[in-house]
Amino acid sequence: MRKLRDFDSELKALDDRARGLKTRKVRQLGELVIATGADTLSADELAGALIVLAETKEAGKKEAWAKRGAAFFHSRSRR
């Protein structure tokens, strides 16, 4: 006979994992803001800049930003 699954405990485990991942994502975003020096901006300025970045459709700009970000992380890892 097959073993019955405890759906409640599985759902709770998935919920705990999702909550942990979300917390980790928020923490890493905060660390990124501090590492880039963007913590000197006001919340309004930072939100406005992020909105402009998210709304940009130009592939060339996004590629340039990605290269600059990669260079930032590579230079940080050597320190």
Q: In this structure, is residue 1 part of a structural domain?
A: no
pLDDT of residue 34: 94
- Provide the domain count of the chain: 1
15 found inside a domain = yes
Which pLDDT score, from 0 to 100, does residue 77 have?
58
CA 78 to chain centre: 22
Query: 4: which 2 tokens?
Result: 């019955």
pLDDT at 5: 87
Residue 54 within any structural domain of the chain: yes
Provide CB contacts within 8 A for 62, sequence distance 6+: 56
- Domain span holding position 67: 7-78
Specify if 17 maps to a domain: yes
The pLDDT value recorded for residue 54 is: 94
pLDDT at residue number 25: 97
pLDDT of residue 13: 96
29 found inside a domain: yes
Let me know if residue 30 belongs to a domain: yes
Look at the block and give the residue holding tokens 């901006």: 41
The pLDDT of residue 1 is 73
Distance, CA of 34 to CA of 40 (rounded, Å) = 8
Point out the residues of the chain with pLDDT beneath 70: 76-79
Q: Is 2 a domain residue? A: no
What does the DSSP 8-state code read for residue 55?
H
28-36 own/partner pairs: CB under 8 Å, 24+ apart: 35/76, 36/72
